[in-house]
């Protein structure tokens, strides 16, 4: 087995051929690398920077809400802040962090591949992502300010007459750029997982994370083209006099909502499934057990993908234009595969030997937050309950618990879990745990009061409220929680800084991992593997390290040579 490398013309100014040594470094590496590991890391750090920026906006929003009539920011600025906060968190952090960052780095390693299937396309999608982010942020520097119509951009509030200026157009362009970036990454992920697996690594031996990334990729390819199409229509309405969403021209504003949520609901799972995948990797490793009900988990993921295409209008119950029982039924039904996942995770830990390292703590934080958000999600699937709390802080609390909870707790679980692989260094366990507890307490303190705030009738996206709403104290609690969560990220930065300045070598397989990414060095060499263990189950490395407890023994594939096979 060989890995071919394209030759650069030696005479061109790029400096020609290079290998892992002597290759470009620093900024030039960042600009020119097609290595999935470099791109994956760039994706991750860029997404985390976007998260910190969007998180700072959240702090401003929470500061404004500490009193019923604060003037910390103006009303216009407030609208811009929550619009860009939501847009960045969803389009530029939660998604790209997972499918551009983790998946890019980990998926090829997990399947024993030397790189992604289309490395140059991979680099292009990173650059589209970065420029999309810059485009979105630059809205703040235009004279009219950034887009201020919410991340959902409901027509006709997003029309030219209601939202003039460059900010909204920059927002549209930013979404289009990141949309294409997502599509390219999805194509890359699916192709890689389908065509570059190591021999013996059948589909039903793939690590669950890889499975989840395949399904995420499928959902991206379903959802993102519709988003891009909707953006083009919106732009045409704004500038070319089209009437897709204007009543006076025979268009329909409700159509925007249909298009947007037909993208938007699969998007929710695009954001969640990768983190479910991370959780499904971390729990078995820190419980020293295989995942429980592997096939059931895979089918649950596929069921979520299928069902997620038929639930879009549960965001539109209060429009009075949708078939309530249909969307209510499918939305309730999607709780089943999601519940199955949670039970699967608990069953995996059952009887295990659970070690509470930082990644595992974050997983437990995720489970707690996600179940809370899931239960309130089931409530919102019932149209009558949605009528009562639609567009209130109840909904805000719900989707932050399911989305932000998943991306932050799931994401940091994965970050700490794979940090040794990414860098070859160990983070500081005590600081990791401190970060977890601050984030967990802070996060719960932020969002539990918001359920009550919503039940008392405070709408989302308002900078002021009434004293008679009796939500002032609850809002203050929520703000304290938000700042505590914010402070937890400072602990994370300190942890990173210490680990960078005073490195502690992590070793190739510090967690006794199960899957192939732990079978190579930390960080992995150019083109990833020098040798691979034989693959006879979903946990080839566990089999190699614990031959007496190997999975293939209970699966009837006979004996396997103990020694590692050298790659030719």
Partner 1 sequence: MKVEYRIYMGIGIFVLLVTTVYFFWAKEYGGVTMLFGTAGLGIMPALYFGWWRKRMDPRPEDSETATLAESKGAIGAFPSNTIWPFVLGMGAFLSGLSLVFGEWTLVIGGALLIFAAASVTLESRRGGVI
Partner 2 sequence: MSNFKSVRERRVGRKGLLLAFFAVVLSSCSSTFGGYRGATTQGQSEASLYQGFMITGIVVAGVTFLGLFYVLVRYRRRKGTNRIPSQRHSNLPVEVIYTVIPVLIVIGLFVFTVRSENKITQVSSNPNVSVDITAFQWGWRFTYSNGVSIVSQGANYPQLVLPANETTKVTLVSQDVVHGFYVPAFNFSRYALPGVTNYFDLTPTSTGTYVGRCSALCGLYHGEMLFSVRVVTPSQFQSWLTQQKAA
Stretch that binds partner 2, among 71-79, 119-127, 517-525, 558-566 (CB under 8 A): 71-79
Stretch that binds partner 2, among 13-21, 90-98, 193-201, 338-346 (CB under 8 A): 338-346
CB of 508 to partner 1, least distance (A): 19
Q: Among residues 52, 121, 254, 302, which is the contact residue for partner 2, using CB under 8 A?
A: 254
Beta bridge partners of 565: 532
177 contributes a contact to partner 1 by CB under 8 A = yes
Distance CA 339, CA 32 (A): 43
DSSP line for 397-436 = HHHIIIIIHIIIIIHHHHHHHHHHHHHSBPPPHHHHHHHH
Q: Count of CB atoms within 10 A of residue 120's CB? A: 10
Q: Which does 293 bind (CB under 5 to 8 A by kind): partner 1, partner 2, none?
A: partner 2
Q: Which does 23 bind (CB under 5 to 8 A by kind): partner 1, partner 2, none?
A: partner 1
Q: Closer CB to partner 2, residue 375 or residue 504?
A: 375
Q: Among residues 53, 73, 232, 329, which is the contact residue for partner 2, using CB under 8 A?
A: 329
Judge contact between 230 and 259, C-beta under 8 A: yes
CB of 445 to partner 1, least distance (A): 40
330 contributes a contact to partner 1 by CB under 8 A = yes
Judge contact between 319 and 383, C-beta under 8 A: no
* Alpha-carbon distances, residue 559 vs 367, 537, 554, 562 (angstroms): 38, 12, 11, 9
290 contributes a contact to partner 2 by CB under 8 A = yes
Judge contact between 515 and 541, C-beta under 8 A: yes
Tokens of 229: 């199409």
Contacting partner 1 within 112-151 (CB under 8 A): 113-115, 117, 119-124, 126-128, 130-131, 134-135
Judge contact between 196 and 117, C-beta under 8 A: yes
Q: Which does 31 bind (CB under 5 to 8 A by kind): partner 2, partner 1, none?
A: partner 1
Q: Among residues 371, 434, 441, 487, which is the contact residue for partner 2, using CB under 8 A?
A: 371
Please state the separation of Cα 12 from the chain's center in Å.
Answer: 39
CB of 29 to partner 2, least distance (A): 40
189 contributes a contact to partner 1 by CB under 8 A = no
22 contributes a contact to partner 2 by CB under 8 A = no
70 contributes a contact to partner 2 by CB under 8 A = no
Q: Which does 75 bind (CB under 5 to 8 A by kind): partner 1, partner 2, none?
A: partner 2
557 contributes a contact to partner 1 by CB under 8 A = yes
Stretch that binds partner 2, among 25-33, 98-106, 387-395, 433-441 (CB under 8 A): 387-395
531 contributes a contact to partner 2 by CB under 8 A = no
CB of 37 to partner 2, least distance (A): 30
Q: Among residues 68, 200, 296, 339, which is the contact residue for partner 1, using CB under 8 A?
A: 200
Q: What's phi and psi for 392, nearest 5 deg? A: -110, 180
Q: Which does 545 bind (CB under 5 to 8 A by kind): partner 1, partner 2, none?
A: none
Peptide bond into 26 cis (omega under 30): no
154 contributes a contact to partner 2 by CB under 8 A = yes
433 contributes a contact to partner 2 by CB under 8 A = no
Stretch that binds partner 1, among 26-34, 80-88, 278-286, 416-424 (CB under 8 A): 26-34
Place of tokens 């040579």: 561
- Exposure on the CB side of residue 35, measured as CA atoms within 13 A: 19
270 contributes a contact to partner 1 by CB under 8 A = no
CB of 559 to partner 2, least distance (A): 17
CB of 106 to partner 2, least distance (A): 22
468 contributes a contact to partner 2 by CB under 8 A = yes
23 contributes a contact to partner 1 by CB under 8 A = yes
Judge contact between 141 and 69, C-beta under 8 A: no
Contacting partner 2 within 269-288 (CB under 8 A): 287-288
Burial of 158: CB neighbours in 10 Å, binned 0-12, 13-18, 19+: buried
Distance CA 322, CA 317 (A): 6
Place of tokens 């470094």: 25
226 contributes a contact to partner 1 by CB under 8 A = yes
Which of 124, 126, 114 has its CA nearest to residue 40? Answer: 126
CB of 309 to partner 1, least distance (A): 5
Judge contact between 479 and 449, C-beta under 8 A: no
Stretch that binds partner 2, among 6-14, 168-176, 325-333, 488-496 (CB under 8 A): 325-333
Q: Among residues 72, 152, 221, 347, which is the contact residue for partner 1, using CB under 8 A?
A: 221
CA angle at 298 for the pair 279 and 415, rounded to the nearest 5°: 20
Burial of 497: CB neighbours in 10 Å, binned 0-12, 13-18, 19+: exposed
Q: Count of CB atoms within 10 A of residue 52's CB? A: 14
């Amino acid at each position: 087995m060989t890995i071919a490398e394209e030759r650069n013309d030696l005479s061109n100014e790029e400096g020609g051929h290079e290998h892992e040594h002597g290759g470009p470094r620093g900024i030039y590496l960042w600009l020119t690398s097609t290595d999935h590991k470099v791109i994956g890391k760039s994706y991750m750090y860029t997404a985390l920077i976007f998260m910190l920026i969007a998180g700072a906006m959240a702090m401003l929003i929470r500061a404004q809400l500490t009193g019923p009539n604060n003037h910390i920011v103006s009303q216009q600025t407030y609208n811009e802040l929550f619009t860009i906060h939501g847009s960045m968190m969803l389009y530029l952090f939660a998604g790209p962090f997972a499918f551009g960052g983790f998946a890019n780095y980990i998926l090829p390693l997990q399947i024993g591949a030397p790189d992604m299937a289309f490395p140059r396309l991979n680099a292009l999608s990173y650059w589209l992502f970065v420029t999309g982010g810059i485009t979105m942020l630059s809205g703040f520097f235009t004279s009219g300010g950034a887009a201020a119509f919410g991340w959902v951009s409901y027509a006709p509030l997003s029309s030219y007459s209601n939202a003039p200026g460059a900010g909204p157009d920059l927002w549209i362009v930013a979404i289009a750029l990141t949309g294409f970036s997502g599509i390219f990454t999805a194509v890359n992920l699916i192709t890689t997982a389908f065509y570059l697996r190591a021999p013996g690594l059948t589909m039903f031996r793939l690590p669950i994370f890889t499975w989840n990334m395949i399904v995420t990729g499928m959902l991206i390819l379903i959802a993102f083209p519709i988003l891009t199409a909707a953006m083009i229509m919106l732009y045409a309405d704004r500038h070319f006099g089209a009437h897709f969403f204007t009543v006076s021209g025979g268009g329909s504003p409700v159509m925007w909502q249909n298009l947007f949520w037909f993208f938007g609901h699969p998007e929710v799972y695009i954001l969640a499934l990768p983190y479910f995948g991370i959780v499904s990797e971390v729990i078995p490793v820190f419980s020293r057990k295989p995942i429980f009900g592997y096939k059931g988990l895979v089918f649950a993921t596929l069921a979520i993908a299928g069902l997620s295409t038929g639930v879009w209008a549960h965001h539109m119950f209060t429009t009075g234009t949708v078939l309530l029982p249909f969307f209510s039924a499918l939305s309730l039904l999607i709780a089943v595969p999601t519940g199955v996942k949670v039970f699967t995770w608990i069953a995996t830990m059952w009887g295990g030997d659970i070690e509470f390292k930082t990644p595992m703590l974050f997983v437990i934080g995720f489970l707690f937050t996600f179940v809370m958000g899931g239960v309130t999600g089931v409530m919102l699937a019932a149209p009558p309950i949605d009528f009562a709390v639609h567009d209130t802080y109840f909904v805000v609390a719900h989707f932050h618990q399911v989305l932000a909870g998943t991306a932050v707790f799931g994401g940091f679980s994965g970050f700490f879990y794979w940090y040794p692989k990414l860098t070859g260094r160990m983070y500081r366990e005590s600081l990791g745990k401190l970060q977890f507890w601050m984030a967990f307490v802070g996060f719960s303190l932020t969002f539990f009061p918001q359920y009550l705030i919503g039940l008392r009738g405070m709408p989302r996206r308002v900078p002021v409220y009434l004293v008679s709403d009796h939500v002032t104290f609850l809002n203050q609690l929520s703000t304290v929680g938000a700042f505590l969560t914010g402070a937890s990220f400072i602990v994370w930065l300190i942890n990173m800084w210490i680990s960078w300045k005073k490195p502690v070598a992590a070793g190739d397989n510090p967690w006794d991992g199960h899957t192939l990414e732990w079978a190579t060095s930390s960080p992995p060499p150019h083109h990833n593997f020098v040798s691979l263990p034989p693959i006879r189950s979903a946990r080839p490395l566990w089999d190699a390290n614990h031959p007496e407890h190997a999975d293939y023994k209970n699966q009837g594939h006979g004996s396997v040579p103990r020694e590692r096979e050298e790659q030719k």
